[in-house]
């Protein structure tokens, strides 16, 4: 992602160097606390005592976040509490597959191949949280987050930051790459994260019910934004895990023509003649890879509504005025299924269901209410799986 490009509902750009909030001018020491039960460690940056006092409510939020996800032993918990003093300026929080680096604002992958090129990008996803992203083999992996506790007397936005933590972590790509169908959020709630090419960033996908939506958390409005997404719908039904250890072609963004091939058989596109209003003979129906050439050669033909979804994917927006239509005869199609694809999708599609946070696995979030500044119970219950420390966040 180019330096300076904004990504997601945030005002902050993606950069090639970590951003240093103004509070870091008071930085005096950076400490790394190893955890025997968890090799990811914790990084804490602090000022000299009395230089900069941060909110104890914010420190309490950090403490519960680390305790629930890193699960330190009782002795380690005592040491961690001592490190989280009122002069704490920043706390580094690595994700599974990564650990804190030896220097401040640095994370390291646990497993690397020196022959594989990689690079890092950084983004302040809120005023208090910065994401660190590891890019390798065309995939973006969230390596960790740095949290900068607000100073005493400043707006805390604890609930808001809590929700942002939950969304960002749940929507991430796991490192090393793993089968999406084996992560707990997908198994338990059919909720998972993926990179959506339509919006150019990672989203949280809800695959429940008859509707498919992808969601993003808007930090400024403290609300979730869920939209119907054709790309995420196709990916939901066509996703196949490709083991990178056995296939050098592994790329995270597998959304191209092959994603619509079901059971290794290329779909056929139903087409009809607008003049006669009848379907063409089945022998003349083009394959998915032939539809663009067919429409160019047959200007009097439209794609039947039953094939419009696959055709739209193959054409990537081309010939949008040739999708569906109103032929005289619509053989073998119920009247209720006739949707004019030229009409804006949001006007013709059935209204989306009431997406609940139970569906998304974030049951306790109330994103429609303004974030509070004094909440002490913002991050109450995380359910990490037994195979990974942060497989799934159920509440925040």
H or E segment at 65?
helix 56-70
CA 234 to each of CA 44, 74, 211, 230, 346: distance values in angstroms, whole numbers, following the listed order: 43, 47, 12, 6, 18
Six-digit token string for 274: 């607008």
Q: Are 286 and 319 in contact (CB under 8 A)?
A: no
DSSP assigned state of 274 = T
Six-digit token string for 96: 């599974």
Q: Is the pLDDT of residue 306 over 70?
A: yes
Six-digit token string for 266: 């290329």
H or E segment at 58?
helix 56-70
Six-digit token string for 271: 């087409």
Q: Are 117 and 144 in contact (CB under 8 A)?
A: no
Lowest mean pLDDT among 167-176, 188-197, 275-284, 381-390: 381-390
CA 40 to each of CA 149, 260, 385: distance values in angstroms, whole numbers, following the listed order: 21, 39, 16
CA atoms within 13 A on the CB side of 79: 15
Q: Are 150 and 358 in contact (CB under 8 A)?
A: no
Question: Which 3 state secondary structure label does DSSP give 185?
Answer: helix
Q: What is the pLDDT of residue 114?
A: 67
Query: Phi and psi at residue 49, in whole multiples of 5°?
Result: -55, 130
Handedness of CA 119, 125, 126, 128 (dihedral sign): negative
Please list, in sequence order, all residues whose beta carbon lies within 8 angstroms of the beta carbon of residue 332, skipping any fewer than 6 positions away: none
DSSP assigned state of 286 = P
Closest CA to 143 of 159, 155, 131, 161: 131
Q: What is the pLDDT of residue 77?
A: 84
Q: What is the pLDDT of residue 151?
A: 82
Q: What is the pLDDT of residue 39?
A: 65
Q: How far apart are the C-alpha atoms of 153 and 305, rounded to whole Å?
A: 59
Tens digits of residue pLDDT in 308-364? 888 887 787 788 889 876 554 444 443 333 333 333 333 334 444 444 445 444 444
Q: Are 272 and 327 in contact (CB under 8 A)?
A: yes
CA atoms within 13 A on the CB side of 306: 15
Closest CA to 108 of 118, 117, 97, 116: 97
Q: What are the residue boundaries of the structural domains of the chain, listed by start?
A: 22-178, 189-254+350-358, 257-348
Six-digit token string for 193: 């994260």
Peptide bond into 176 cis (omega under 30): yes
For the chain, helix, strand, coil in percent to 5 are 25, 25, 50
Q: pLDDT-based confidence at 17, cuts 50/70/90?
A: very high
Tens digits of residue pLDDT in 214-270? 999 888 888 888 888 888 888 888 888 877 665 444 433 444 444 434 333 567 889
Tens digits of residue pLDDT in 101-152? 999 999 999 887 767 899 999 999 998 999 999 999 889 999 999 999 988 7
Which parts of the chain are beta strand (E)?
Answer: 27-35, 38-47, 88-94, 98-100, 107-109, 118-124, 129-136, 139-147, 191-196, 201-206, 213-218, 223-228, 271-273, 278-279, 301-303
Using a pLDDT cut of 70, give the percent of the chain over it.
70
CA 119 to each of CA 96, 108, 147: distance values in angstroms, whole numbers, following the listed order: 18, 12, 22
Tens digits of residue pLDDT in 203-224? 999 887 656 689 998 888 888 8
- Annotate 318-377 with DSSP letters as a single string: TTGGGBS---S--TT--GGG---TTS-HHHHSPPPP---HHHHT-TT--TTSPPPSS-S-
Q: How far apart are the C-alpha atoms of 73 and 33, rounded to whole Å?
A: 12
């Amino acid at each position: 992602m180019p330096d300076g490009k904004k990504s997601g509902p945030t005002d902050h750009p993606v950069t090639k160097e970590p951003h240093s909030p103004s509070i870091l001018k008071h930085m005096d020491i950076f400490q790394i606390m190893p955890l025997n039960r968890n090799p990811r460690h914790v990084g804490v940056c602090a000022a000299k005592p009395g230089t900069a006092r941060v909110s104890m409510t914010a420190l309490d939020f950090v403490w519960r976040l680390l305790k629930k996800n890193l699960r330190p032993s009782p002795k380690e918990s005592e040491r961690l509490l001592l490190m989280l003093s009122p002069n704490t300026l920043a706390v580094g929080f690595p994700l599974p597959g990564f650990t804190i680096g030896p220097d401040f604002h640095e994370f390291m992958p646990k497993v690397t191949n020196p022959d594989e090129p990689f690079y890092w990008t950084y983004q302040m996803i809120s005023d208090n949280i910065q994401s660190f992203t590891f890019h390798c083999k065309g995939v973006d992996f969230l390596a960790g987050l740095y949290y900068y506790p607000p100073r005493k007397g400043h707006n805390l936005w604890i609930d808001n930051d809590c929700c942002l933590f939950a969304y960002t972590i749940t929507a991430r790509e796991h490192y090393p790459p793993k089968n999406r169908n084996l992560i707990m959020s997908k198994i338990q709630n059919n909720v998972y994260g993926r990179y959506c090419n339509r919006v150019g960033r990672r989203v949280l996908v809800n695959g429940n019910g008859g509707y498919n939506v992808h969601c993003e958390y808007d930090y400024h409005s403290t609300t979730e934004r869920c939209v119907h997404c054709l790309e995420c719908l196709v990916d939901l039904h066509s996703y196949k895990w490709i083991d990178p250890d056995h296939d050098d072609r592994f790329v995270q963004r597998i959304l191209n023509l092959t994603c619509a091939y079901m059971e290794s058989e290329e779909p056929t596109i139903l087409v009809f003649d607008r003049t006669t209003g009848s379907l063409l003979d089945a022998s003349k129906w083009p394959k998915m890879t032939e539809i663009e050439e067919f429409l160019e050669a047959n200007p009097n033909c439209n794609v039947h509504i039953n094939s419009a979804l696959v055709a739209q994917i193959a054409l990537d927006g081309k010939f949008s005025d040739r999708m569906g239509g109103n032929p005289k005869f619509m053989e073998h199609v119920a009247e209720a299924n006739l949707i004019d694809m030229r009409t804006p999708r949001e006007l013709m599609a059935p209204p989306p269901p009431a997406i609940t946070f139970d569906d998304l696995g974030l049951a306790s979030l109330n994103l429609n209410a303004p974030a509070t500044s004094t909440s002490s119970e913002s991050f109450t219950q995380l359910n990490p799986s037994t195979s990974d420390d942060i497989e799934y966040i159920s509440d925040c």
